[in-house]
Amino acid sequence: MAIRARVTVTLKNGVLDPQGKAIEGALGTLGFGGVGQVRQGKVFDIEVDSADRAKAEADIKAMCEKLLANTVIEDYAVEIAG
Count of residues making up the chain: 82
Torsion of CA 20, 25, 27, 28, to 10 degrees: 150
Interface region with other proteins, contact rule CB under 8 A, candidates 28-36, 45-53, 54-62, 70-78: 70-78
Q: Which of 53, 62, 70, 79 binds other proteins (CB under 8 A)?
A: 70
The Cα–Cα gap between 43 and 18 comes to: 19
Taking the complex as a whole, how short is the minimal distance between the CB of residue 40 and other proteins, in angstroms?
A: 10
| Chain contacts with other proteins (rule: CB under 8 A) | 15-16, 18-19, 22, 66-68, 70, 72-73
